[in-house]
Amino acid sequence: MKPIVTILTLIFILASCNNFEPEKLERQPGQEGSRQIHLDFHTSEQLENIGEHFNKKQFQEALIAGNVNSINIFAKGHHSWSYYPTKIGKMHPHLDFDLMGAQIEACKEIGVSVQLYFTVGWSATDAINHPEWAVLRQDGSNDYRDMVKRLGDNEDFWGWEYLAPEGPYAELILAQTEEILENYDVDGIWYDIHQPERLNYNAFSMKDLKKHGIDPNNREAVRKRTNERYHEFFQKTHDLIKSYDEDASVYYNGTTRTYNDENISYFKYKFYQYNTKQDLEDLPTSWAGYDVFPWRSKYFAGTGKEVVAMSGKFHKSWGEFGGFKDKEAILYEAASMIAFGANCNFGDQLHPSGIMDMATYENIGHAYDYVEKIEAYGIGGTSAARTGLYVSESKAAIEGTVNMLLESQVNFNVVNLLDDWSEFEVLIVTSGGIMSRDLQKIRDYVQSGGKLIVMGKGAFLDGKPIADIGAYFIGEANYDIDYTIAGEEIIDGLVPSPFLNYNAAIRVKSEEGTEVLAKIREPYFSRTIHHYTSHRNTPYRLEDAFHPAITRNGNVIFLAHDLDKQYYSEGARLQRDIFINSLNLLRQTPYVEVDMPSMGRINLLKQAEKNRYVLHLLYASPIQRGSVRVIEDLVTLYDIPVSIHLEENIKQAYLVPSGEKIRLKKQDGKWIGNIPELTCHTGLVLEYE
């Protein structure tokens, strides 16, 4: 009788899987689509017959092949030309019909929402016709004009002259925006290129500084006023758009950057507040890589607005005609976007003739067909984690920490924009430190029983500890490098020998009762041109230094090294693993634990309105080839163990998009099970009562 029951049960399960229909994501009024395209169209006046082969049917066929439900199309591009008959700006001199209007009509007929692209910072012909609008340094020069002087007529280049949205240039943008809103049925405006870090000393800016009593030599005062001017521009354009359509989307590209080349943090300026959704532009193949989007998606989800992940179909970067990313890479990126709760957007570039490239949309469609099956299990979900990460103003500290967490499948959320930190068992503070405005919040968190792990100088603000770390600051390192010896509590998987730190630790003195988890060995001397031994670093002394590497004082663990920055630059596994081992002393009840190779990625989303969690699992191995990171082979993993510790009672578990039921066993307060197979992505749906 038992075999019959087993067979019947198996038939029932297989039938359930075969009949499983993934949920459909319902779009609400005012929302953009989940499967978007950003269609670049920066066309020079040196190109003729613009849009001559545009065909509405062919345009629609491409979007249908790509399974697209939303698109950004061009009103005005970087060459300053508009793609519709305009009385305010200037239509492309070699365009003889309303291309933008024709595209809008084509999209509306097939149910694709339309946002119009409008350039701000880069507008070449405007800069030529109005050189007084260009942003200038205090000495009257700028980057673009310096480059033009250096290059010969036949040399290639990259760059555009930058214009700030102020004075008559801002008035032009406002007037043309209103012209568009009056004459076209669109779902939003997408403004591009905003770089408030560029301090401006042109005539309009100098007049404004004088009006506000600001000394041009006071750089910080100029920066403050520059930021105010951008806030004024964002507010005016936002209000204008909303006056025509309250449901219209508004986005200012550049406002969701988190830092720039001058290491100026955008966290403090909150330019993103004017966006109705947060687009996160990234080209992981050639920009910052695949581990930047995960933490940025978690940070900007804290604004309470939709998040849109932006990548591209290109092999390298924007503006690349004929460059193709492998379709499996697009699939992985799109699945990752959904896994972290975001809408998808892939960039393309329309040929000047107006012909859509069908191969591009077949590749994107390969990914978007899959996205359609899983999007209801990701988009808009809330990241659920018991480990919190406070992101700092240091790129190296943030990304080094995130790399260590992602590679170890430590599920985390970013806390900066969250009001309530009580759900977090552990809070991580990087060596980049905290903003002074959050000091009391961190101290309150620890005093109420929260656990803290903090690295390097991040433990101190204005020379004082941000929490009771059980040690006090003595001074900077004595030498250029040093070595760590791990203690018994954190030595799992590490070598017992002293191992090298590429940056030496700051020196602290442990207080009585503070536990030392790892010790330091200093070198005999720092390596210099006149004082060295061997090829690289000086060997370690045979006695321990008086200052420790890692200490624990109750619920606070302090790591004296900037392991985050070192991992970002050097990638030494020993430094990652000693950080994770230290973290795991505090991290006792994580919601999920997954055992995957280091390139495995996880994220747990809660969909409270549907009484479920979704644990997303991803696996791919980007390979560095030349200047780009390439995903080509999606290797299958088998029998992935998962452990789930949730307060809710799980009533059933299944995979999406397959619908396969997963059997979970209750053990020691946790639900234990296995994911049978993973190729690229799957989601484990956990429905609770």
Cβ atoms of 89 and 171 closer than 8 Å: no
pLDDT tens column, 147-156: 988 887 778 8
Please list, residue by residue across 296-315, b when 16 or more beta carbons sit within 10 angstroms of its beta carbon and e when fewer do.
Answer: bbbbbbbbeebbbbbbbbbb
**Token digits of residue 189:** 């405006």
The one-letter code for the residue type at 610 is: K
Per CATH, the architecture of 597-688 is what?
A: Sandwich (2.60)
The 10 Å Cβ neighbour count of residue 43 is 21
Distance CA 413, CA 396 (A): 18
Look up tokens 């989940």; give the residue: 34
Token pair 């020379």: residue: 463
Strand, coil or helix: what is 172? helix
State residue 600's pLDDT score.
98
Q: Which of 133, 127, 190, 201 is nearest to 160 (CA)?
A: 127
CB 451 within 8 A of CB 491: no
Q: Is 488 left (phi over 0), alpha (psi -120 to 50) or beta?
A: alpha
d(C-alpha 378, C-alpha 341), whole Å? 5
Candidates 285, 373, 298; CA nearest to 655 is 373
DSSP 675: E
Give dist(CA 214, CA 221) in Å, integer. Answer: 7
- Are 84 and 99 in contact by the 8 Å Cβ rule? The answer is yes
Q: Report the 10 Å Cβ neighbour count for 626.
A: 8
Tokens of 118: 């409008």
Predicted pLDDT at 152: 79
Whether domain 35-130+150-198+231-380 has CATH 3.10.20.600: no
Residue where the block lists tokens 């700092």: 392
Class of domain 385-590: alpha beta
Buried b (16+ CB within 10 A) or exposed e, 422-452: eebbbbbbbbbbbeeebeeebbebbeeebbb
Bridge partners, residue 349, by sequence: 40
Gyration radius of the chain's alpha carbons: 27
Can you name the residues that pair with 431 across neighbouring β-strands?
none
pLDDT at residue 28 in the model = 67
The tokens for 111 are 């149910």
- Per residue in 207-223, is it b (16+ CB within 10 Å) or e — as a string? ebbeeeebeeeeeeebe
User: 40 and 349 in contact (C-beta within 8 Å)?
Assistant: yes
Which two structure tokens, joined as six digits, stand for 571? Answer: 């990638």
Domain ranges for the chain, please list them.
35-130+150-198+231-380, 385-590, 597-688
What is the token pair recorded at 514? 């503070």
pLDDT of residue 34: 97
pLDDT value at residue 26: 81
CB atoms within 10 A of CB 192: 21
Burial class (CB in 10 A: 0-12, 13-18, 19+), 684: buried
pTM across the whole model: 0.94
Query: E strands of 563-680, at which residues?
Result: 592-594, 600-607, 612-619, 623-625, 628-630, 636-644, 650-656, 665-667, 670-679
| Spatial CA neighbour of 600 closest among 634, 570, 646, 645 | 634
pLDDT under 50: residue ranges of the chain: 1-17
Whole-angstrom Cα distance, residue 436 to residue 443? Answer: 12
The amino acid at 547: H
CA–chain centroid gap for 615, Å, is 19
- Please state, in angstroms and rounded to a whole number, the distance separating the CA atoms of residues 318 and 330: 15
pLDDT of residue 14: 41
Q: What is the model's pLDDT at position 27?
A: 72
β-pairing, 515-521 with 550-553? antiparallel
Alpha-carbon distances of 534 from 483, 527, 529, 572, rounded to whole Å: 17, 10, 12, 21
Say how far apart CA 79 and CA 256 lie, in whole Å: 24
- How big is the chain, counted in residues? 689
The kind and range of the H/E element at 105 are helix 99-109
In whole angstroms, how far apart are CA 250 and each of 32, 61, 158, 196, 657? Answer: 11, 28, 28, 18, 32
CA distance 506 to 503: 9
List all residues 6 or more positions away from 294 whose beta carbon is below 8 Å from its beta carbon: 336, 340, 402, 406, 601, 603
The strand pair at 464-465 and 460-461 is best described as antiparallel
- Yes or no: say if 303 and 270 are a contact pair by the CB < 8 Å rule: no
